[in-house]
Amino acid sequence: MAAEICGGSLFLSVKTQLQLQQRNQQNVFFHAQRSRTRRSTTRFHSSKRCFSSSAFPNASAFRRGAVCQVASTDFESAAKAGEDRLSKVPVRNIRNFCIIAHIDHGKSTLADKLLQVTGTVHQREMKDQFLDNMDLERERGITIKLQAARMRYVFENEPYCLNLIDTPGHVDFSYEVSRSLAACEGALLVVDASQGVEAQTLANVYLALENNLEIIPVLNKIDLPGAEPDRVIKEIEEIVGLDCSNAILCSAKEGIGIIEILNAIVARIPPPEDTSKKPLRTLIFDSYYDPYRGVIVYFRVVDGTIKKGDRVYFMASGKDYFADEIGVLSPSQLQVEELYAGEVGYLSASIRTVADARVGDTVTHYGRKADNSLPGYEEATPMVFCGLFPVDADQFPDLRDALEKLQLNDAALKFEPETSSAMGFGFRCGFLGLLHMEIVQERLEREYNLSLITTAPSVVYRVHCVNGDTVECSNPSLLPEPGKRKSIEEPFVKIEMLTPKDYIGSLMELAQERRGQFREMKFIAENRASITYELPLAEMVGDFFDQLKSRSKGYASMEYTFVGYTESNLIKLDIRINGDCVEPLATIVHNDKAYSVGRALTLKLKELIPRQMFKVPIQACIGSKVIASEAISAIRKDVLAKCYGGDISRKKKLLKKQAEGKKRMKSIGKVDVPQEAFMAVLKLEKEVI
């Protein structure tokens, strides 16, 4: 059946279409059944069957003077085509594409609808965020890992193979996006029709342009009351520079414009080159560790053909294995006998050593090796560092194995062993951002059943020594002595904040408080501005993003890039307890913030450290200079209780004897800082630094 609509297409289930036909024959008004996630109705007129203004208030906004188009969809044939998705098609009929967008602009919802319309996933198996298979992704409502899915679509009576890669939207997972783009020839740029262009929208477009991809602009959520497609199209053309004359208006939740998107993918995204006769070269773009099958590799076949049972050679590691199982991701793993140039699939070869199959490696045939490997991926540069320590020291080997397996699935994670006098053996880990750090910690605790302690996040400082050496340190305990260092440089980032004009003042105030240097402000639209600052990365690893969202009531977005190192007036703040320096509590802070940070730390430690038999001084020091101090009073025995009278000299003698004992105890006594105190202080450091 055909449904006439203005500027888009609404697709309904077969059962609903039959019901609508029956009601149409009776010449009555009818209602269209909506998605299960939103039980609302759209009113149609019985004769014209166009959207009514009450049911779709923004119909005029995206009609744009076009007459009502007629689009027909047979879901039975689409489902049948989906079931045949393992059938081979010529290389010219393969389309590899990914979906990129800012966070919460509807990437995962659009991916769900594409899977549903093409019949890749049956209706009974369908659920929201279908490709987000981690519990953590569903709880937070964000995409953390890229996911691949193979679909089959019939266009003009010719079958096409569509390989979709759904990507994360948060800036901390941009490395996942860059790896996805390298395996594709095109990208769907999804923009929320109510929110418009945001910071990560720009960042993703630039990544796609660097990879020479064909970009198809898609305006999502046009069914929302606040949708303004014309304004957003103008924003994209002015800010991004993309031609939006043939941008697609859609609503992934309501199924509007999905067929237009599929048609555009086939018509506008170029096919991969047909190089199936060349020696095999496949690019590994993702992998994970299965406890039963070993390392499972996701790859894109660039040249040649790979068959089940072939002996394959990993060019970077120099290892060879037999391909016990190859298949496609649709989105579950389906076995096939062979894959050729342009296709995306997976490989299982009983690989037990995680270092043998790394992301970015090239796989070729052992007997017919390729002349050179593929370029691979640029190494991810960690921006934020913290220490990870097991609560139980016996779990240290388990933590090492867990990090190695997780690094296989998360190529941006870096780690090296570290020892702390307070927390024992652990690892110094590098992350792309604070959210990345939180996600890794939660995945280690959930997937590998570990109990972990994390230190306060820090950045890498560059220290120029008097003798001409340059030392990089991410741990305050590795900082050279004051007499040996000439200067300290800290990393700076260029941050771009996109915000409604009402919040410009509060966001500029936030950046100034964090030692930001103003660079530029421009109005990208009548009510939206772009503010550019350069500020220290150390000021961003705390609660900067939370403050940005709080001060702008959630409307502002940000994106940052590393620009280099700049010399700053930085000092090492030591904490001394009873005269002994406690290295795990040392921090590197700016001189202007040293007093406030030192004061907060000493007050917190006074609350947490239990009282001793002697007085315990707690001091925050810069070198030998004490800038903040607190003291825990001693537990005293009342030695004067037995003195019911008599001369004052007797009382003085007893008090003097007690004082000498306390002094002797203080000189030989040792204060044990409890684990709870370290945890509380580390949490405090994350808040105040």
CA distances from 177 to 156, 206, 404, 665 (A): 32, 11, 22, 60
Here the tokens at position 82 are: 């989906």
194 labeled binding residue: no
166 labeled binding residue: yes
Q: Which helix (H) or strand (E) holds 298?
A: strand 294-303
106 labeled binding residue: yes
101 labeled binding residue: yes
Residue 553: name the closest of 502, 518, 496, 497 by CA: 502
Residue 624: name the closest of 572, 560, 688, 680 by CA: 572
CA 550 to chain centre: 20
Cα within 13 Å of Cα(134), Cβ side: 19
Residues ≥6 apart with Cβ < 8 Å to 513: none
Residue 198: name the closest of 169, 227, 226 by CA: 169
Residues ≥6 apart with Cβ < 8 Å to 151: 82, 85, 114, 115, 118, 120, 161, 162, 163, 164, 330
167 labeled binding residue: yes
Residues ≥6 apart with Cβ < 8 Å to 318: none
Here the tokens at position 59 are: 């119909």
Beta bridge partners of 320: 313
Report the amino acid identity of residue 90: P
103 labeled binding residue: yes
Give start and end residues of each alpha helix (H) in 238-356: 258-268
Give start and end residues of each alpha helix (H) in 532-593: 544-551
105 labeled binding residue: yes
Q: Which helix (H) or strand (E) holds 462?
A: strand 461-465
- Residues, the chain, total? 689
220 labeled binding residue: yes
Q: Which residue is it, tokens 């096409």?
A: 160
DSSP state of 378: P
453 labeled binding residue: no
286 labeled binding residue: no
Instruction: With beta carbons less than 8 A apart as the criterion, state whether 475 and 467 touch.
Output: no
Here the tokens at position 455 are: 């230190």
Cα within 13 Å of Cα(58), Cβ side: 19
308 labeled binding residue: no
∠ CA 137-138-141, rounded to 5°:
80
- The two most distant CA atoms of the chain are separated, in Å, by 116
**Burial (CB count <10 Å: 0-12, 13-18, 19+), residue 461:** buried
Residue 227: name the closest of 103, 65, 106, 72 by CA: 106
Residues ≥6 apart with Cβ < 8 Å to 507: 497, 499, 531, 548, 551, 552, 556
Sign of CA dihedral 396, 400, 402, 406: positive
Instruction: With beta carbons less than 8 A apart as the criterion, state whether 191 and 232 touch.
Output: yes
CA 420/CA 407 separation, integer angstroms: 23
Sign of CA dihedral 200, 203, 207, 213: positive
∠ CA 15-20-21, rounded to 5°:
100
168 labeled binding residue: yes
108 labeled binding residue: yes
Q: Output the known binding site for GTP.
A: 101-108, 166-170, 220-223
Q: Output the known binding site.
A: 101-108, 166-170, 220-223
